[in-house]
Amino acid sequence: MSNNLSPDTIIGPYRVVSQIGAGGMGEVYLAEDSRLHRKVALKILPPEMAANQDRMRRFKQEATAAAALNHPNIAHIYEIGESDGTNFIAMEFVEGVELDPTYWYAHDFLGRAYEQKGRLPEAIAEFQRAVELEKDNAENWANLGHAYALSGKRAEAQRIIDHLKEVSAHSYVAPYNFAVIYAGLGDKDQAFDWLDRAYTDRSGFLAFYFNTDARMDNLRYDPRFGELMRRVGLPQ
């Protein structure tokens, strides 16, 4: 279930301007603080997650941990609050910067942003450019395969799986990358099979990305997801 807040929605002292992005842990909106007349990034916890005490605990832990940090590359936390049943974090809004067109990482992150907004043609174009610039990076291929899968281009996604399997015959390919594509295809059994392999490999992807990876959103309510989080030692 999604909040789908429309422009001019009022959340406490904040007026929603537009949506910035969305993922497994909530939606983020550009909003205006009516008290201080400044732009803020407003992170909203989905209602079904707010009803889950464990997820609420994680939400507050995230905000508290971030608020304790002071670094120019980390957005400042202004407030943790609740308004008419809607839980939110208000944080510093940072304007975007121009991307280096020759840096594959920039295209990777832009592609992920497009994908989360549902703009799949643009996401695919960015991931294709990332692959062109860094052909040996399996994660780039996995991102492209996932976007193909979401857009209904299942044959293209399968070709990328086959390509990565060929590469894995002579070079290491993290199992997590296969799981990403299978998750996009909706093949949960294969996705969890490759996630189990990632666990066996002690994959850093599981420790650092799995819990909040929006590409795994369609797996979150499968009992195997929580079980894997328990095995990895992540909070549920």
Whether residue 4 lies inside any domain: the answer is no
Whether residue 1 lies inside any domain: the answer is no
Whether residue 39 lies inside any domain: the answer is yes
Same domain, 65 and 146: no
pTM: 0.63
* Structure token digits, residue 18: 């537009």
Same domain, 15 and 68: yes
* Structure token digits, residue 215: 């590409």
Q: What span, in angstroms and rounded, lies between the C-alpha atoms of 178 and 142? A: 7
Same domain, 138 and 190: yes
Q: What is the pLDDT of residue 1?
A: 42
Query: Bridge partners of 26?
Result: 23
Same domain, 33 and 127: no
Among the candidates 66, 92, 118, a domain finishes at 92
Same domain, 214 and 109: yes
Q: What span, in angstroms and rounded, lies between the C-alpha atoms of 67 and 128? A: 36
pLDDT tens, N- to C-terminus, the chain (236 residues) = 456 789 999 999 999 999 987 766 678 999 999 999 999 999 887 777 777 777 677 767 767 776 777 766 677 889 888 898 888 889 999 876 566 778 888 899 889 989 988 899 999 999 999 999 999 999 999 999 999 999 999 999 999 999 999 999 999 999 999 999 999 999 999 999 999 999 999 988 888 888 888 899 999 999 999 999 999 987 76
Half-sphere exposure at residue 113, Cβ-oriented, CA atoms within 13 angstroms: 11
| Cα Rg, the chain, nearest whole Å | 19
Same domain, 151 and 51: no
Whether residue 223 lies inside any domain: the answer is yes
Same domain, 114 and 165: yes
Same domain, 50 and 110: no
Q: What is the pLDDT of residue 46?
A: 76
- Let me know: does 8 contact 18? Beta carbons within 8 Å: no
Q: What is the pLDDT of residue 176?
A: 97
Q: What is the pLDDT of residue 124?
A: 96
SS3 of 40-79: the string is EEEEECCHHHHCCHHHHHHHHHHHHHHHCCCCCCCCCEEE
Domain CATH number, residue 108: 1.25.40.10
Whether residue 98 lies inside any domain: the answer is no
Instruction: Produce one character per residue of 113-148: b if its CB has 16 or more CB atoms within 10 Å, e if not.
Output: bbbbeeebebbbbbbbbbbebbeebbbbbbbbbbbb
Same domain, 113 and 213: yes
Query: Domain span at residue 130?
Result: 104-227
- Let me know: does 32 contact 17? Beta carbons within 8 Å: yes
- Let me know: does 225 contact 197? Beta carbons within 8 Å: no
Considering its fold, how many domains does the chain have in total? 2
